[in-house]
Amino acid sequence: MTALSPGRDLLALTRPGELGVVEVAPDGSADLATTHWIAAGDWHLAGWAAPHLVVLRRRGELGLFDTGHRVLTSTHPVVGRTLRHDGEEALLAVVRAGRPMLCTHRPAEGTYRLVEGTEGVRSVATWDRDTLVFTHDRGVTMIRDGERTDLDAVSAAGDGPILALTGAGDVPGTLDLATGRTRWYEPGGKAVAVSPSGLLLTLTWTDHRYVYRVLDADGRVVGTPVPGHGIATDLAFTADERHLLGHHQSPAAPPALVRWNVRSGLMTPLEGQPREEIAVRWWHRESTQSPEWVYEPENGHGGTVLHLHGGPRSQLRQIHEPVIAALVAAGWTVIGMNYPGSSGYGDEFRDQVVGDWGGADVKAVTARLRDLQGDHPVCLYGQSYGAYLALLAADPALVDAVAVWAPVTDVEKLLESATGLHRQWLTTELGALADDRDELARRSPIARPCTAPRLIVGHSAGDDRVPVEQSRHFVARHETTRYVEQRGNGHEPADMAAWTAAVVTHLEELVRQGVSV
């Protein structure tokens, strides 16, 4: 999702409790210090619906924010996001019979109308009074004047009059809506954006990073944005078409808005945004159990933290993780383990723990902890599903301290509390386990003696993915556990700085006490 407006002259930004809009020059330059901020409560930025209309969303609600500072809301269950706007009519995805389907909605009137033929929708490339182009679970469809045409593509993106298409096998192409003409280029990446004149931005995943190329109308490569160390995301063409605007981040630096010169690839951060970097070396390697990222401080004290990401179908990449950055800055070497079940390493590796939560993944984590044994402290950190694994693998013979955020502690209760798509996902993930209450209990940390030494648990009071009761009940059974509960409705910490500080302080006690050093 890019924060650049369809008119390419405004940039939408968010920070806790606020929404901001700042003007952008045709070359993509902007001074973020001049951003106009307004109170937005717990609304989150979801994108742009029109040149001067921002899409907001929060749990169960949809918001449309216009330049007159008016928010139109909907309490209809929203899946995905609002994608286009016509007057006060918004296009959104809803669920009917278990599948998402497009729906038009007039917030002022509170009326809805399902758009027939849009079952399985995933995203919308363009929508106006006459034409709708959307990606669904079987491909890409165009509906023009009520006539449906299935396009020979697997995804589509853009705002028109030219759309970016991706064919099977990552073949990039374009669709000219005015003529209906499709043009395909040589294989070499997904088509993710297109400029008004037809410059095409493609994307591939190579060497654990996104690699972008800009193609001209003849398919020639005219630019390759160079992100430097780290990852570039959410790129969009600026109005002059000579620059791209997007985000850049790395383990050493948090996400920042930057612009790239298409021809030279030079990256320039936008003005008015502080960006502190830490001194860290990082690289990717294969271990005997799982792939992993290693982050080393320049001057460390020798301690190691094994970091377990959430998911389980996620992965740790060379992106900025505040907890990792804080630990490295405090002198810890952090090993970010992509345990069995992580994405990015093929279907076989990803599907290892489908129907086997707390099985092969815990064995891999335990084996890695054994490898790390030595003369220095070894600690364990996990969040969400990674926190679940950390609690199961926290053997006092292997770790000196444990910190977890939003852990799953009772799998059966988690399944009982889940509804809608979340419940469907959980049922699929658990497989036969979903019907075996005894086995679910055996694989739940709350049913086991708490062996984790020096444990700290954190959770958001209104967590919409893993209910806070998962932590509250667990902590109530184990009085020696430190507990940090934050206000907020998200799954991530609302105050990340406070949580990272708590984790660092908790683990630093080992260093001060001289444990295993």
322-329 and 496-513 are packed helices; what angle lies between their axes, rounded to 10 degrees? 30
**274 preceded by a cis bond (ω within 30 of 0):** no
Identify the CATH number of the domain in which residue 362 sits: 3.40.50.1820
Flag whether 110 is in a domain.
Answer: no
Alpha carbons 460 and 77: distance in angstroms, whole number: 22
What is the SS3 assignment for 4-66?
ECCCCCEEEEEECCEEEEEECCCCCCCEHHHCEEEECCCCEEEEEEECCEEEEEECCEEEEEE
The DSSP H or E segment spanning 385 is helix 385-393
Alpha carbons 263 and 503: distance in angstroms, whole number: 44
- Contact (CB, 8 A) for 316 and 344: no
- Res. 337 pLDDT band, cuts 50 70 90: very high
Q: Which residue has the higher pLDDT, 168 or 80?
A: 168
Flag whether 227 is in a domain.
Answer: no
Q: Which residues in 443-478 are b (16+ Cβ under 10 Å) and which e?
A: bbbbeeebbbbbbbbbbbebbeebbebbbeebbeee
pLDDT at position 101 is 81
Average pLDDT on 470-480 reads: 90
Flag whether 392 is in a domain.
Answer: yes
Laid out side by side, the sheet with 209-215 consists of 190-194, 200-206, 209-215, 221-223
For 476-483, the CB contacts below 8 A with 24+ separation are: 477/446, 477/450, 478/450, 480/455, 481/450, 481/452, 481/455, 481/456, 481/457, 482/455, 482/456, 482/457, 482/506, 483/456, 483/457, 483/458, 483/459
Could you tell me the two tokens for 67?
């330049």
| 95-119: pLDDT as tens digits | 666 677 888 777 667 677 788 888 8
The least confident of 204-213, 289-298, 386-395 is 204-213
- In angstroms, the Cα distances linking 357 to 312, 360, 444, 467 are 9, 8, 10, 18
- Contact (CB, 8 A) for 181 and 217: no
Flag whether 171 is in a domain.
Answer: no
Strand partners, 291: 286
Dihedral of CA atoms 452, 454, 460, 462 in degrees, nearest 10, equals 50
pLDDT at position 422 is 82
Handedness of CA 233, 188, 265, 293 (dihedral sign): positive
- Contact (CB, 8 A) for 369 and 422: no
Flag whether 122 is in a domain.
Answer: no
Flag whether 71 is in a domain.
Answer: no
The least confident of 54-58, 302-306, 354-358, 384-388 is 54-58
Average pLDDT on 139-164 reads: 90
- Res. 81 pLDDT band, cuts 50 70 90: very low
pLDDT at position 97 is 65
Domain count, the chain: 1
Q: Tokens 């920070």 correspond to what residue?
A: 15
- By three-state DSSP, how is residue 430 classified? helix
Q: Which residues in 278-292 are b (16+ Cβ under 10 Å) and which e?
A: bebebeeeeeebbbb
Q: For residue 374, which amino acid is it?
A: G
pLDDT exceeds cutoff 60 at 83: no
Flag whether 89 is in a domain.
Answer: no
- Contact (CB, 8 A) for 201 and 224: no
* Domain containing residue 420: 280-513
- Res. 316 pLDDT band, cuts 50 70 90: very high
Flag whether 15 is in a domain.
Answer: no
The DSSP H or E segment spanning 256 is strand 253-261
Q: What is the mean pLDDT of the chain?
A: 87
pTM above 0.85, yes or no: no
